[in-house]
Each structure stands twice: as C-alpha cells, then as structure tokens.
Amino acid sequence: MRVQRRFRLSRSEDFKRVRRTGKSYAHPLVVLVTQASETKDRLKIGITAGKTTGTGVHRNRAKRLLREAIRNLIPSIASGWDLILIARPALVTATLADTRSALTNLLKRAKLLSADETPG
C-alpha cells in the first residue's frame, strides 16, 4: 500500500514554506524538516531527493525507500505537522531497516513520535 494522498505534501509553495520556516533534524541517511501545520488536524509529508543523491534511478530508489519506511510510522506520528524528508546520498545503499531506524530516530528527536507506539 502506498502513502495515501491525504498524507502528501505536494505543492511547491508548501515545500518552500516548510523549508524556509521549519526546524530541521539531520541524520546521515535523511534530513527531516518539521513545521506546525496551519490546520491542526492533519499530517502532511513531502519526500524529496536532490541531484546530490545521484542519478534519476538512485533518487527514485531513495524516495521509494523513504515512502515505504514512513508508511508504517504514520499512525503513531502526531497530527498537525508538515514534514519534509530529504534523502541524502548514503540512503541509496541503505536497507529498509536502516531507513526505518533513521526515521524513528529523527521523529523521536523532533518529539513527533510516541515512544511507546513505535511499530516494528
């Protein structure tokens, strides 16, 4: 199952707003940028991979990995936030387990993930 459309951050203006005014958390595999959303009852997640990640094949793999890793975490993430996940070059060679671990770590650091509700 894919990350549902209702959870996607897709407009360019939204990406720019979150990047400009949000708080970022770095990990060797991925960067998380968070900002409180205008509407408090929803969660929106945008996934991106820049050219530094590699070729188009590598960027697409990195984005697929991030989408799959975040899918199981969505129910335990606090609502009312806009999130951007930015792939780093090391993500291309990472496993799904490594990616999930990195995302869990970042979400806990950002205090967006309930510590007792981390899915396995």
**48-100 pLDDT tens trace:** 999 999 999 999 999 999 999 999 999 999 889 999 999 999 999 999 999 99
- Does residue 118 register a pLDDT over 50? no
Which pLDDT belongs to residue 29?
96
Rounded-to-integer distance, Cα 61 and Cα 81, Å = 25
Which residues are CB-neighbours of 101 under 8 A, at least 6 positions away? none
Which pLDDT belongs to residue 6?
72
Which pLDDT belongs to residue 115?
56
Q: Residues of the chain with pLDDT > 70: what percent?
A: 90
Are 65 and 15 contacting, i.e. CB atoms less than 8 angstroms apart?
no
For Cα atoms 118, 60, 14, give the angle at the middle one, nearest 5 degrees: 70
- Give the mean pLDDT of the chain: 89
